[in-house]
Amino acid sequence: MPAEFTIRVVPSLREVDPAAWDACANPKSMISANNLGDKTDSICEPLESTPPASSDGDDPMAPIDSRLQQEPFNPLLTHAFLYSLEESGSATARTGWAGAHILVEDAAGKLLACAPAYLKSHSQGEYVFDHGWADAYERAGGAYYPKLQVSVPFTPATGRRLLLADGAGEAERAALLQGLRAVVKKAGASSIHITFPTQPEWQALGAAGFLQRTGQQFHFFNRGYASFDEFLGDLASRKRKAIRKERATALAPGIEIEWVTGSDLREEHWDAFFAFYIDTGSRKWGRPYLTRTFFSLLGERLADRVLLVMAKRAGRYIGGALNLIGDDALYGRNWGAIEEHPCLHFEACYYQAIDFAIARKLKRVEAGAQGEHKLARGYRPVTTYSAHEIADVRLERAVADYLARERRQVAATIEAYGEYVPFRKGSAPS
């Protein structure tokens, strides 16, 4: 590491200047380079595990995982979003997310690179599941917790994790890894887990000795559609009819849908949405993570990057979906409802997100983790990534063997999903 670098670890983003953090999270060069309108900017060679492209390039199932590599403005990485999780009491030491954020600074104290990192006392809220590793290690007499997690808490969305300011490069990235390893040693942690990084980061971490893991999600990709009906035109007739029927069913009980964003967001919206979140989360997951204060802070600090899809019946809100708006992606985050209505979840979370992405000319919708049911609704399978470094060589050896087999299975599953996509054979982008 160059002598002029200083590595610091801070327990709270309160100690980091928001503008300095954001200059690393969303550097101007990355934003401008990705807003030039050249679609080829975001395409590169796919991994070997990606299904092969068709010869004419018009196959709706052509490799698309690599489009995650370039990342214009991502609100989930901002100081405002991450600090709101902390300040609201959602991601703190008390909830098992003790901040250990890595900062790399020059001799003058300028922030050159950073990483959102947390010492974890459990494996909840990560969406890359390592409970089996923890159980096996502890049965063998080891202590799996604490572990060091590099991630956006409670957020299974792909984005850069080793955040570099303009002008920073491999030396600063190496310094971040040095800082992470120093935290593990000092805290007596078992491991480092970098979850949902971009594909280039994942590859670089593999070259740095990290174990490589893959997973799978379903994303909608906007092929330049002018309307939802134009998107439906890419689907097989039977699928088009099914989606139209679902949308009609969702709204049949007199339900209206509102998009609420920017200055239109008010506390009454957050009151209603929090009730949805708690009711649904308590029944489905048993442990809602986010506090009511978090939503107010989010609306205060990132209103223009928030989209609430709110369902209203008989004059009152009955359900809703929270999304964050990036420069080229819509990130679906949370859903909840206090009334049960057929297909309302599909309408609020998936179809309205597609409508919004088309209206805003966003390239994709990331609708969260898991969910094979998204496949029939126009969302395509993509590969997600994580990287892991385990201190105990015995556990690391066992996990490496498991991951090699898991990667093959993930690749085979994604390829098999190609048989079930709803798109017409040979459909071409408009």
Backbone phi, psi, residue 408, to 5°? -65, -40
- Look at residues 126, 24, 125 and name the one whose alpha carbon lies nearest to residue 77: 24
Give the range of the structural domain holding residue 123, as residue numbers without chain letter: 6-218+382-417
pLDDT over 90 (residue 30):
no
DSSP string, 70-84: S----GGGSHHHHHH
Mean pLDDT score of the chain:
89
- Tens-place pLDDT, residues 112-121: 999 999 999 9
Sequence-distant (≥ 6) Cβ neighbours of residue 17 within 8 angstroms = 111
For residue 370, tell me if it sits in a domain: no
221-225: list long-range contacts, CB under 8 Å, 24+ apart. 221/64, 221/67, 221/363, 221/364, 221/380, 222/354, 222/357, 222/358, 222/361, 222/362, 222/363, 222/364, 222/365, 223/60, 223/429, 223/430, 224/429, 224/430, 225/358, 225/430
Distances (CA, A) of 139 to 98, 133, 136, 142: 25, 10, 5, 7
- Report the distance separating Cα 325 and Cα 92, nearest Å: 25
**φ/ψ (deg, to 5) at 311:** -100, 130
CATH number at residue 183: 3.40.630.30
User: Do residue 202 and residue 238 come from a single domain?
Assistant: no
- Supply the pLDDT for residue 370: 78
Q: Is the pLDDT of residue 212 over 90?
A: yes
End-to-end CA distance of the chain: 50
Q: How many domains does the chain have?
A: 2
Domain boundary residue among 316, 332, 362? Answer: 362
- Judge whether 251 lies within some domain: yes
pLDDT value, residue 43: 23
135 and 267 in a common domain: no
The pLDDT value given to residue 61: 34
If you average pLDDT over each of 55-69, 275-289, 297-311, which comes out highest? 297-311
Question: Do 305 and 358 reside in the same domain of the chain?
Answer: yes
Q: How many CA atoms lie within 13 A of 236 on its CB side?
A: 11
Whether 375 is covered by a domain: the verdict is: no
Q: What is the tens place of the pLDDT at every residue in 153-201?
A: 999 999 999 999 999 999 999 999 999 999 999 999 999 999 999 999 9
Tokens of 92: 């703190």
Strands (DSSP E) found in 372-419: 380-390
Same domain, 357 and 389: no
- Dihedral (C-alpha) 306, 224, 47, 44: value to the nearest 10 degrees? -100
Q: Does 358 lie in the same domain as 386?
A: no
pLDDT the model gives residue 426: 61
Contacts of 343 (CB under 8 A, 6+ apart): 246, 247, 249, 250
Q: What are the pLDDT digits (tens) for 54-77? A: 333 334 333 333 333 356 899 999
Do both 214 and 227 map to the same domain? no
For the entire predicted model, the pTM comes to 0.89
From the list 98, 126, 108, the residue with the least C-alpha distance to 10 is 98
Judgement on whether residues 412 and 317 belong to the same structural domain of the protein: no
The confidence score (pLDDT) of residue 101 equals 98
Q: Which amino acid is at 69?
A: Q
Is the per-residue pLDDT at 82 higher than 80?
Answer: yes
In a domain, 426, yes or no: no
For residue 52, is it within any domain? yes
